[in-house]
Structure 1
Amino acid sequence: MVMGSSTIEKTMLTSFLLQGFWDRWIANDIPRETVIELRHRINRLEDWIRILQKHADVYENRAVHVLNQHSVGEAVNFYRLAAMHYNLIQWVFPETGNEKREWYQRCKDMHEQADQLVEDEIMNIIIQVEGNECYGRIRVSDRPKGCVIIINPIDSSKEEVVKYEDFFAGMGFATVSFDGPGQGETYTFSHQRATRQSWDLFVNEVIEFTALQFPMLQLYLFGTCLGGAWSIQGSSHPKICRTVSVSPVIDGDTRVPEYFEERLLNIIEDSKSGLLLRMESLDYVSPILLVHGKKDTIIQHDNIYDLYTKLPIEKRLIQYVDEGHGCNYRINEILKAAGHWYLRQSNPLSL
């Protein structure tokens, strides 16, 4: 029996019943045609793997083909697409093990192929947190304007949001992104589960590490969902200049699907300790841009407004009436707004 098979079955059932399940993956470039095929043809784990691997193979072959025709930009995009399909395969496994590690490595291999074609310098690095290895990526564009530290949702990985890295690099920022305890490569290969203490140490260590890497640059935080909560938590660090938090998960009345609760049991050491934002710890934070979708069914609107009211200094709230948790379909607008926020510009968005 596959480890976590009950959770996998609930995950696939949810993916069949709820279109909203797919929002994050569509926003991160899984094509709608692939989603339609998955929703209509999966009856078991083997179907999930077969369909995604088939599409990954197609994109890898396309990458090789266009690269032979010297179309480097297209090749990068196709390798990234292949990687995202492998990422979705490894993600469905809630527990680490040989199969999850195998698919994760394929995801990393595709990104490595793409990274070698990018002009920016991209490095894979490791930091130590409580004696455990946490895996990360650094990307440095030519003469960067500042450095954005990207903090991801707890069940996500740095590979899932490489498009954020691409966007910020296009705006002239260096980026740093790590998988924390319970996340991505750190969980899959180091078996490190999350606790509030380990995440406190992790966020602080990432900021200190980045400050040493880029002593002449201003440092910014960008986070979504639980990563959005920890970006606010980390914004109290004196070396952080500005922060953007999208759909931060706040300590209080949150509602998550059953399959997701079960996934969290695998990656959080003590679920009762929680990893959510505690609003009593907001005595000092850097200027924060807060982003909220009014159709969010996980975070209560009142909690977001209470959070915004409690933020003590310069702040801004962007709300999307047609977006849910994570504001997935407005992410390009949000990344653009984040870049302006970091540079202390105030270009208004059409909401």
Structure 2
Amino acid sequence: MTPPSPSVTPTVFELPGFLPQFVAGNRSRAIVCGLDPHEYDRVTGGLGTLHDWLPAFRRVGEAYRAAGERYAAGGHVVSAGGAFRTAARWLHCATFPPLAEHARTIAAAREADAAMGRAFGYLDPEAVRIEGEGFAGWLRRPVDSVRPVRVVLVVPGLNSGKEEFHAVDEALLRRGVATFSYDGPGQGVLVDGAPRADHHRVASRVIDALATRADLDTTAGVGLVGMSLGGFHAILTAAHEPRVAATVAVSGPYRLDWAELPLFVRETLTVRAGGAGAAEEFARRVDLAGIAARIGTPLRVVEGGDDVTPGVLSAERAGHEAARGEVLVVPHGDHLLCNAQSEWLPDTADWLTDRLG
């Protein structure tokens, strides 16, 4: 292979040693998403370059999808649902690298979405697909609950999607709260669009849609849980949307500095925003200065002490600026505290459901 010209900035796919760094950096994230750690190690151990990531993960996802079809044909619905769910998770994790051939990422994200729909058909038949302008997601209600029930919106991050945070959904469902995990512009099944720094407008349309349902109680407000960049979206929404009753932001940014961001983050933003100029403008608008102080409802910001990224100012500052804000820091937590889930999720799920009454 001819090395890149010295005058051309290399991509993350060409950086020496980036593949093992990427594999290690995404391991806890993939495990919390639901991938078997041993299988993750086997698959990533066979990668030659970062270019191999998407096709390798996609092959595993397709194998699980085929297993789901076999189980379904034999009438084994629990096994079928589990296989389709695992397929969706592998297909979603296939989309992590910022491929210049964005059509491949779009295709994998759509396959993940379809596989999760098949999974819910067996594992949670009452899950309801709800779509609107700029969003698509799944409403799940707690089993045997007295309806209407309160509801929490789960908002994913930059290269994430609704297939990734089922642990959050399950924690809330077990506590008697409904969840609506959705993809917004530039996320998951909507990755063919550009992310929006005014995501609060999308969240307001989501709340509009949920407010029409007789099985949900939105009159006293909804809850928000934002993950990574979704934490910024959640805090912004809480400042603008009076129907938000309580908010959690996990590993969210307060501000982005484009010039200081790692190459991987800049490339991901560039691919998903549709160009470097649009990506830089998006990053400039990710800024909570003067925003968090406008939030009058409870806000909890959850941060990992080991989650330090150049160019990213932590949303911890927003937790201190909000009138009813608080901050939970787990010193050894990584990004999204995937390596310390038991140290933030149960207590935070209790915190949120308590504030929803």
For normalisation by structure 1, the TM-score amounts to 0.81
Map 1:15-164 → 2, pairs under 5 A? 15-18=19-22, 19-44=24-49, 47-60=52-65, 63=68, 72-92=77-97, 94=99, 98-119=103-124, 121-128=126-133, 133-141=134-142, 142-143=145-146, 145-164=149-168
Alpha-carbon distance in 2 for matches of 1:310, 1:10: 41
Unmatched tracts of structure 2, length 5 or more: 1-9
- C-alpha deviation, 1:174, in angstroms: 1.3
- C-alpha deviation, 1:300, in angstroms: 8.8
The number of residue pairs the alignment matches comes to 331
Alpha-carbon distance in 2 for matches of 1:302, 1:262: 19
Alpha-carbon distance in 2 for matches of 1:246, 1:16: 26
Alpha-carbon distance in 1 for matches of 2:262, 2:81: 35
Worse-matched range after superposition: 283-292 or 55-64: 55-64
Is 1:279 aligned with 2:289?
Answer: yes
- C-alpha deviation, 1:87, in angstroms: 1.5
Map 1:286-301 → 2, pairs under 5 A? 286-298=297-309
Alpha-carbon distance in 2 for matches of 1:43, 1:264: 25
Residue identity opposite 2:184 in structure 1: G
Deviations 1:74-120 (A, max 9, x none): 54333211111112224435457543343233222321221111345
Alpha-carbon distance in 2 for matches of 1:165, 1:61: 26
2:235 counterpart residue number = 232
Worse-matched range after superposition: 29-38 or 145-154: 29-38
Contact 1:288 1:316 in 2 (8 A): yes
Residue identity opposite 1:259 in structure 2: F
Is 1:212 aligned with 2:212?
Answer: yes
For normalisation by structure 2, the TM-score amounts to 0.79
Residue identity opposite 1:271 in structure 2: E
Q: Percent identity?
A: 18
- C-alpha deviation, 1:280, in angstroms: 0.6
Contact 1:10 1:259 in 2 (8 A): no
Contact 2:171 2:349 in 1 (8 A): no
C-alpha root-mean-square deviation of aligned residues, in Å?
3.2
1:196 counterpart residue number = 197
Contact 1:247 1:299 in 2 (8 A): no
Q: Secondary structure at the match of 2:354?
A: coil
Q: Secondary structure at the match of 1:331?
A: helix
Distance change >3 Å, CA 263–CA 301, structure 1 → 2: closer
Alpha-carbon distance in 1 for matches of 2:78, 2:16: 34
Alpha-carbon distance in 2 for matches of 1:165, 1:339: 10
Is 1:306 aligned with 2:317?
Answer: yes
Alpha-carbon distance in 1 for matches of 2:100, 2:130: 24
Deviations 1:317-345 (A, max 9, x none): 22111112211123355332232112327
Contact 1:290 1:316 in 2 (8 A): yes
Contact 1:227 1:248 in 2 (8 A): yes
